[in-house]
Amino acid sequence: LYYLLQLWSRMVTSVAYLKGDGESHLDRYVPDVTQTYIMSKLQSARAALQANPSEDPLENEEQLIDQLDSASPLCRYQYDRMAEFLLSLFDPLVTQLQSLAGQGTAMPAQIEVLEGELAWLVYIVGAVVGARGTSRSSEEHELLDGDLCAKVFQTIKWIELRQSLPQGPSSATLQRLELALLYVFQYFRKAYIGEQSNVTSTNLYSRLAERVGISDHVTVMDVIMNKTMSNLKVWARHGEIVEKSLNLFQELASGYSSSKTLLKLNVIVLALQHHGPSQLPFLTVSGNPRNRTNFYMTLTRILLM
């Protein structure tokens, strides 16, 4: 599958170098190939979780990311069509999850199947947004990025609700959804929160403001950091979530302007004032000196920048 995706990806990226007016036929086939790939992964995740709820079809993240890196240029080739397709998949999943949660009866198996599919969609959105710098972008593409990112930011509400439900914090699919969200945050950071990226992203933030009330890069960094600090409390004993949350924190603080922005956020001011084990339980977990060092090194960089 990886090699097939690579083949189609290379054909798409080579379009910019074609000469003449000959028809390439890619406009006809690429959207169908891309939609088929996305649906096959959703169906695969559903089938795996229905057969064995404890199995994580997204467990091999390295292999998953390799596929997504190849699939993302296909998604952005006819982006308006593919964004509409992805958006049409989000709402039914979230609606079903909220319906199951609202029924008040324990249905963890059904929730985990839907959650596994939602995690896959969040991963694909992260890859698509992250491919912004590798393809021709336009004002319309930024608006579509905003539509997709709004759906991802809305999943934070579901995660918070799920954590309060029975078996929520121990759910493998919820943990995978958390990792998928961190994956999106990383690619969003690279595409829109870099030292120069936020200067040219007016269209994205106008769309995010309409959809989820996020009007600029300061607000989006506040949302990301509140979620990151929450991870250090809720998932204190989940090493992978803690490590990736701290890596995101470190990379957000690595730039001069983004570090200055972090220092303005209430969540960071509180972390600078109260940064002991009682506020951040991950610090009490034995065997993670690297995580503790990473955390305090990042706080120090923000303070001294």
**DSSP per residue, 24-85:** -SHHHHHHHHHHHHHHHHHHHHHHHHHH-TT--TT--HHHHHHHHHHHHHHHHHTHHHHHHH
pLDDT tens, residue by residue, 266-278: 999 999 998 888 8
Does the pLDDT value for residue 15 go beyond 90? no
d(CA 15, CA 190): 25
Does the pLDDT value for residue 242 go beyond 90? yes
Q: Mean pLDDT across the stretch 207-236? A: 94
10 Å CB burial of residue 11 (0-12, 13-18, 19+) is middle
Percent of the chain with pLDDT over 90: 44
pLDDT tens, residue by residue, 79-97: 999 999 999 999 899 888 8
d(CA 76, CA 197): 19
Q: Mean pLDDT across the stretch 150-155? A: 94
238 sits in the region (left: phi over 0; alpha: psi -120 to 50; else beta) called beta
Q: What is the mean pLDDT of the chain?
A: 86
Q: Mean pLDDT across the stretch 172-198? A: 85
d(CA 209, CA 97): 25
The two most distant CA atoms of the chain are separated, in Å, by 66
C-beta of residue 2 within 8 angstroms of C-beta of residue 70: yes
Q: Which carries the bigger pLDDT value, residue 203 or residue 170?
A: 203
Instruction: Grade residue 25 by pLDDT with cuts at 50, 70 and 90.
Output: confident
Per-residue pLDDT at 198: 46
Per-residue pLDDT at 56: 65
Does the pLDDT value for residue 138 go beyond 90? no
pLDDT tens, residue by residue, 188-218: 998 888 665 545 678 899 999 999 999 998 9
Per-residue pLDDT at 213: 94
10 Å CB burial of residue 69 (0-12, 13-18, 19+) is middle
d(CA 45, CA 177): 13
